[in-house]
Amino acid sequence: MENQPVLYGITTCDTVRKARRWLEGEGIAYRYHDLRKDGLRADDLTVWMRSVGWEALLNRAGTTFRKLPDAEKQIANEAQALAVMLAHPTVIKRPVLVQGERVTLGFKLPVYEALFAQG
């Protein structure tokens, strides 16, 4: 189904688990894409960055980012962010929910309720 939302994340992330539980509990059909197992395309990442901004997409507080070498942490623009996120997809704020042209970061219950109330 082309209009089916896609939830991008990693299975060990608590926030991704909460989003998946909520979607399933509401009976909302979606496709899950594991960033570790299924990988990440530069085209998708570029669309996300243009939609929400690379600064919002980059999770500087996460374990993966903190473990990066100092040189890789010095991200000053979209091209550098793209390179780091492609090399280390777990530095992306999760989950990423893509519904057509709309990209939503993280899981906040009121946001998800509003997104799916329109359907």
Does the active-site annotation cover 49? no
Between CA 37 and CA 115 the distance in angstroms is 27
Helix (H) or strand (E) holding 50: helix 42-52
Cβ burial, residue 92 (10 Å; 0-12/13-18/19+): buried
Q: Which of 13, 52, 68, 82 is catalytic?
A: 13
Catalytic residues: 13
